[in-house]
Amino acid sequence: MPQLNDSVHTETHFQSSDVVRDVVIGMADGLTVPFALAAGLSGVVSSTHLVVIAGLAEIAAGSIAMGLGGYLASRGDSEHYASERRREEMEIVERTRDEEEEIYEIFEEYGVTRPESDSVLQALKRNPKAWVDFMMRFELGLEEPEAHRARQSAATIACSYVVGGLVPLLPYMLLTESARALMFSVVLTLLALVIFGAVKGRLTGAGALRSGLQTVLIGGLAAAAAYGLARLFRS
């Protein structure tokens, strides 16, 4: 008698893609923009006090701007979804035949014939809400945004920006010599960029090493450009 396999197959999929996206947006800009600003100022001033003040001002303004941008983007997604859903609710009543044809066309894309998909269509017609849900997802490719998504997105992006922005400024807060603080800031920020990029790549499936190198390259180029321009204008 064959033995049954007691092991249970469990699929693991990362579900918090929106949260990761917000953290990536906020943290990436938080690490690179204040880093570039501090590096640029280090090329023209010797006082770390001025760099810290300018950096904190930029973090405050940047976090507010980025958070507001995330809020408006999420609100726009919610409003777009609601508008499209109202249109679909109207069309299944006023243009029933057209919507039925769209059901057949969707299933045909997956190799399901019309007779085979007819039973599904009849079941959906008995449940108008499910019909609309089906059309929203498979015709329009839209998922209903989570409740309070806009506020959560704004807070996540803003907080991530602040956390990221404080990393390159930390050496300037602890040291008095701008040139020395810059060296420590470069090492600390590049290390943070590597870790951040690797974690992001692992969570999103893009590859830890590749993502880490890309993040370091972008942040390093931004800081180098800012520092070089500051030195150029100073001379």
Of the pLDDT bands very low, low, confident and very high (cuts 50, 70, 90), residue 163 is very high
Rounded Cα distance, 26 and 155, in Å? 10
User: 62 and 163 share a domain?
Assistant: yes
Its pTM stands at: 0.73
User: Within this chain, do residues 58 and 28 fall inside the same structural domain, yes or no?
Assistant: yes
Question: Residue 47 — φ and ψ, nearest 5°?
Answer: -90, 125
Q: Is residue 37 domain-shared with residue 63, that is, in the same domain?
A: yes
pLDDT digits (tens, 9 = 90+) for 185-203: 888 888 888 887 777 777 6
Residue 3 forms part of a structural domain: no
**Residue 67: what pLDDT?**
92
Q: Which two tokens stand for residue 92?
A: 């299944």
Whether residues 153 and 226 share a domain: the answer is yes
pLDDT score of 13: 46
More confident residue, 231 or 167: 167
The residue from 119, 139, 159 where one domain ends is: 139
Grouping H, G, I as helix, E, B as strand and the rest as coil, residue 177 is: strand
- How many helices (H) does the chain have, and how many strands (E)? 8, 0
Within this chain, do residues 169 and 62 fall inside the same structural domain, yes or no?
Answer: yes
Domain that holds residue 122: 85-139
Query: Which tens digits make up the pLDDT trace of 80-101?
Result: 888 888 998 898 888 888 888 8
Please report how many Cα atoms fall inside a 13 Å half-sphere around the Cα of residue 169, on the Cβ side.
22
pLDDT confidence bin for 230, thresholds 50/70/90:
low
Q: Phi and psi dihedrals of 5, rounded to 5?
A: -80, 115
